[in-house]
Structure 1
Amino acid sequence: MRLSRGLLLSGASLAVGVALGAGLTSWKLKDDRGPKILQPLIVEAASDISRPPSSGITRFGLPGLSQLKTRQSHVLSYDPRLRGPVWVLEQLNGERIQGDATREDSEFIEDDSVHHYHRATNSDYRGSGFDRGHLAAAANHRWSQKAMDETFILSNVYPQNPHLNRNAWNTLERSCRGLSRRNRSVYVCTGPLFLPRTEADGKTYVKYQVIGDNHVAVPTHFFKVVVLEKHNGELELRPYVMPNCPVDEKIPLERFLVPIETIERASGLLFVPNILKGSSNVKAITAGGK
């Protein structure tokens, strides 16, 4: 079974699954009449009184649509409420992690494709105590200076605890690059989590800090779902969750492995379920490395 072709997904998994299945280039569906390309929704004013009343609901446009953004180095789905991505997807291999690109030539910039009401700015991070933490790591894309530069667009960034960013999280990113040297491809999906916590009153809340004038959300945790495509066609799944706080870098990465269902329930996403559910050639690595 190959990860890189033929994924037909539905619901919340469509965007992630199609990006994996089509090599991050096209959106396709199949029916009995052959392939179709998904077209943008065209909204028309209702002029025929024989139409049901609902036909005119969208005549002035829709208040929002999923914001899918494609870069050289990654694909992401943007959440304007959080001022950050829901998920960021990369494909790594031995060639992509090598090259002459350098982060010294890159600068953090606003995403001008996002409405100014809903974007993060560099001023939001000033004095916040948080790093501008990449989801698609800059060092994953040394093959192209443009690809590396695009990882510095703030739509690929969340406020991240400095100790986590520079130690345990960096170790996880380096591990993904090491895996890309030993496998055909490594698919990495990274995103924020906002996990509930029971407080002193006995009630459970989802609470998270925001920073800056634009109220950029600070995730309570981060996930990284790693899918290894081996040279023999087998797949291996490694789902990680780390808290957005100082983490002892001596703790083995295997301690942060969780069942994929844990991330799916918490994030509202589904990760290539057509392949991962009930497939005999998929090995899921859990805590303890088994």
Structure 2
Amino acid sequence: MKHLHLIALALLSLTLTCFSCQEDSNLPEKKPGTETGENANRNPTTATTVYGRLEFPHLNTNGNNIVLVHSVDNFGVNYAVEWDCDKKAQRWTCYQMNTFTSHSNWNRKNWDNTTWHGDPFQEDPDLPVQYRTTLADYKFSGYDRGHICPSADRLYSKDVNEQTYYLSNMQPQVNSFNTGVWLTMENQLRNKWNTNTYRDVLYVCKGGTIDKSSQIATHTSSGLIVPKYFFAAILAVKNGQYHALGLWFEQKLKGDKDVNKDDKLRPYAVSIDKLEQLTGIDFFCNLPDDTEKTVEAKLDLNWWGL
């Protein structure tokens, strides 16, 4: 069962939070704030402790933004989105991957036997209507509704999977990108790095560029921003050890059907420090400052098998 609560943030006056109960029930790891060390840039947690989770980047308090935290009973926090209401676009989606969240009790084919008839894409019911993107915005646009938190990463239950089809978790992607290097990244993240060899927990933040005009490829006929670049920030925690990886992809709109296809991720790998410079987003801000500084400066391609 899903529940919705709206909380106005006193410290982030232009930000709202939409979230459900059982905020941290899928957290097997030590909760943020218990590590030793100073943290000058962590998110405030007065409104909700969810903002202190390690997958969260520093929240953007400039402009008219909403933070959507989607949760499900018996699962906990599913994923969170920072939504720019003026741009009608998401800045990022963040979520965790671990043994619990990876349980598979549902699959995409199950949607064929529901009222959705195999196509559960839908408006985000937690967003105020005036800020939503709609199915009509994508229809005949020439772009895929590209998942940021993939459906295949959230197969724990019907309700958990359904939330990944909210349009707030989408960005316009050309098909060759959605089924190309972006899919390569999703598969490697799910099948290689989301294993006990690499993690107790993976903390993931992904999205497309919406803030700089030089990083916007174009707009759809309905006005949706089409990001020129997409990114992934990944933090692996294993036996108390931290490893981080940034990935930076250009979405090429012109070229043949293979223009965005690549089965290798090494050419796109950057440090988190570099990814922060490219995106303007402060990733993994809830780590203690000394840990954050060390982890984000390092790019260990061998550790990641790249």
- Give TM-score, length-normalised by structure 1: 0.71
Return the alpha-carbon distance in structure 2 between the equivalents of residues 24 and 193 of structure 1.
Answer: 18
Return the alpha-carbon distance in structure 2 between the equivalents of residues 171 and 15 of structure 1.
Answer: 35
- Specify the SS of the correspondent of 1:264: helix
Give matches, 1:102-121, under 5 Å.
Answer: 102-104=107-109, 105=111, 107-121=120-134
Please tell me whether residue 285 in structure 1 is matched to residue 297 in structure 2: no
Q: Give the equivalent residue in structure 2 for 1:79.
A: 84
- Specify the SS of the correspondent of 1:235: strand
Q: Give the equivalent residue in structure 2 for 1:67.
A: 66
- Specify the SS of the correspondent of 1:238: strand
Amino acid at match of 2:220: I
Q: Give the equivalent residue in structure 2 for 1:262.
A: 274
Q: Give the CA deviation at 1:167.
A: 2.3
Give matches, 1:127-146, under 5 Å.
Answer: 127-146=140-159
Amino acid at match of 2:139: R
Which one of the candidate residues 216, 222, 227 is aligned to 2:235? Answer: 227
- Residues 257 and 285 in structure 1, CA contact (< 8 A), matched pair in contact too: no
- Specify the SS of the correspondent of 1:237: strand
- Specify the SS of the correspondent of 2:145: strand
Return the alpha-carbon distance in structure 2 between the equivalents of residues 189 and 24 of structure 1.
Answer: 6
Which structure has the greater CA radius of gyration? 1
Which one of the candidate residues 86, 101, 106 is aligned to 1:101? Answer: 106
- Tell me which stretches of 4 or more aligned residues in structure 1 moved more than 6 Å: 287-290
Amino acid at match of 2:200: R
Q: Give the CA deviation at 1:196.
A: 6.5
Amino acid at match of 1:156: N
Return the alpha-carbon distance in structure 1 between the equivalents of residues 40 and 169 of structure 2.
Answer: 25
What root-mean-square deviation, in Å, do the aligned CA atoms of Structure 1 and Structure 2 show?
Answer: 3.2
Give matches, 1:144-159, under 5 Å.
Answer: 144-159=157-172
Please tell me whether residue 210 in structure 1 is matched to residue 219 in structure 2: yes
Q: Give the equivalent residue in structure 2 for 1:90.
A: 95
Return the alpha-carbon distance in structure 2 between the equivalents of residues 79 and 66 of structure 1.
Answer: 5
Q: Give the CA deviation at 1:92.
A: 0.4
Q: Give the equivalent residue in structure 2 for 1:168.
A: 181
Task: List runs of 5+ in structure 1 lacking aligned partners.
Answer: 26-62, 198-204
Q: Give the equivalent residue in structure 1 for 2:246.
A: 239
- Give TM-score, length-normalised by structure 2: 0.68
What number of residue pairs does the alignment pair up?
239
Between 1:270-279 and 1:235-244, the stretch displaced more is 270-279
- Specify the SS of the correspondent of 1:227: strand
Between 1:85-94 and 1:262-271, the stretch displaced more is 262-271
CA separation of 1:216 and 1:23: change in aligned 2, threshold 3 A: same
Return the alpha-carbon distance in structure 2 between the equivalents of residues 212 and 115 of structure 1.
Answer: 22
Amino acid at match of 2:279: S
Identity %: 23
- Specify the SS of the correspondent of 1:89: strand
Which one of the candidate residues 249, 257, 262 is aligned to 2:262? Answer: 249
Q: Give the CA deviation at 1:133.
A: 0.3
CA separation of 1:276 and 1:135: change in aligned 2, threshold 3 A: same
Q: Give the equivalent residue in structure 1 for 2:13.
A: none
Return the alpha-carbon distance in structure 1 between the equivalents of residues 180 and 70 of structure 2.
Answer: 27
Task: List runs of 5+ in structure 2 lacking aligned partners.
Answer: 1-28, 57-61, 72-77, 112-118, 253-258
Q: Give the CA deviation at 1:9.
A: 5.2
